[in-house]
Amino acid sequence: MGLSYILFMVFAFSAILSALAVVMTRNTVHAALHFVGHLLCLAGLYSLLHAPLLGVLQVMVYAGAVMVLFLFAVMILDMGEQERSTIASSRWQFAAAVVAAVALAAALAAFAKPSLGAALAPAGDAAKDLAADNIREIARALFRQYALAFEAVGVLLLTAVVAVMVMAKRKLES
Amino acid sequence: MPGIEFTLALAGLIFCIGALGVLLRRDPLVMFICIEMMFNAANLAFVALSEHLKSVQGQVMVFLVIAVAAAEVAVGLAIIIAIFRTEKDVNVDHLSELKG
């Protein structure tokens, strides 16, 4: 039980707690800030799971760019004033949602049984350190095997930017 | 380091918390954040399996998912802002313009 184990547990439980805080808090700004904490915990988990590049990307893209966008949206919509209408209105709705989530959790936990790790034998070299040449390995896979997917994602991002601009412009004209 | 089962169970739990948020909350921005949380749970499962299988392919998938999620956030937030500029209502139960 080394330092990485303790760090993993700390990140895992703070990820769960911040996720619960996102759902439970009534203030939208607080929810967004709790979600930033959740993303940072996940970035730590990625780094511990030998994916340092994804940890950095998580902080830069998600905790940086995406959450700033969210906070701008909260600011524009002035959500802070309307904190009462956040939780589901009907008690039956609440109960149904909780039951659905618990059933889903049970179904997912059934997959994560202890024999799973033995059943999934490592495909590659078991002693390989994924973190050692992480960026080079990812780049190699991304630009050779997944080159088409990479280009498609580029086109998708361009399309999204154009779509958002069209939507924003039409609002200004009307 | 805990085993693959622990990490996958963690990913499943985070996914369920996100699903619970989408079902419970009626604030469109928080629902959107919870959808992002489910994305991240899937990403965590990808990274855990990538580490377990000693293959970098799962990490490439997470890279692509992050890019697609960024595009999705941009379009989704633009739609939410466009709706609530005209509606001035933050409860998704009250939105029924598309009802046939």
What is the pLDDT averaged over residues B30-57? 92
Average pLDDT, chain A: 83
Residue A152 in this model has a pLDDT that exceeds 60: yes
**Domains detected in chain B:** 4-88 (1.10.287.3510)
CA-CA distance, A160 to A94, in Å (whole number)?
A: 35
What domain range is A3 assigned to? Answer: 1-102
Residue A174 reports pLDDT greater than 80: no
Domain count of the fold of chain A? 2
pLDDT, greater one: A77 or B13: B13
Give this prediction's pTM: 0.87
Question: Is the Cβ pair A85, B26 closer than 8 Å?
Answer: yes
Q: Do residues A96 and A141 share a domain?
A: no
Report the residue of chain A nearest B14, measured CA to CA. Answer: A16
Whether A112 maps to a domain, the answer reads: no
Instruction: List, in sequence order, the alpha helices (H) in chain B.
Output: 4-24, 28-53, 57-87
Shortest CB distance from B68 goes to which of A97, A130, A156?
A: A156
Residue with the two structure tokens 């949206």: A73
User: Which two tokens mark A173?
Assistant: 């004209």
Tens of pLDDT, residue by residue over A53-79, are 999 999 999 888 998 988 888 888 776
What is the pLDDT at residue A126? 61
| Per-residue confidence (pLDDT) for residue B90, from 0 to 100 | 65
Closest among A61, A68, A152 to B70, alpha carbons compared: A61
- Please identify, among A63, A80, A102, the residue that sits at the C-terminal boundary of a domain: A102
| A138 in the same domain as A98 | no
- B-chain residues within 8 Å CB-CB of A116? 4-5, 8
How many beta-carbon pairs below 8 A join chains A and B?
242
Domain membership flag for residue A109: no
User: Are residues A78 and A15 both part of a single domain?
Assistant: yes
CA atoms within 13 A on the CB side of A31: 28
Q: Residue A11: its pLDDT value, please?
A: 95
Cβ pair A154, B70 in contact under 8 A: no
Task: Pick A111 or B47 by higher pLDDT.
Answer: B47
**Minimal Cβ distance to A51: which of B15, B59, B79:** B59
For residue A39, give the chain B residue with the closest CA.
B40
CB contact under 8 A, A31 and B30: yes
d(CA A51, CA B50): 9
Q: Which CATH number is A69's domain given?
A: 1.20.120.1200
Looking at CA atoms only, how far is residue B100 from chain A in angstroms?
24
Choose, out of A86, A120, A129, A144, the residue to mutate when testing the contact with B (most B CBs < 10 Å).
A86
pLDDT at residue B62 in the model: 94
Residue A135: predicted pLDDT: 87
A116 within a domain of the structure (yes/no): no
Statement to judge: residues A43 and A93 lie in one domain: yes
pLDDT digit string, tens, across residues A85-112 = 556 667 777 787 788 878 877 877 776 6
Tokens of A164: 């958002």
CA distances from A136 to A33, A54, A60, A88, A109 (A): 33, 13, 19, 47, 35
Q: How many Cβ atoms are within 10 Å of A81's Cβ, its own excluded? A: 9
Task: Specify whether A95 is located in the same domain as A143.
Answer: no
Q: List CB contacts (< 8 A) between A38 and chain B.
A: 37, 40
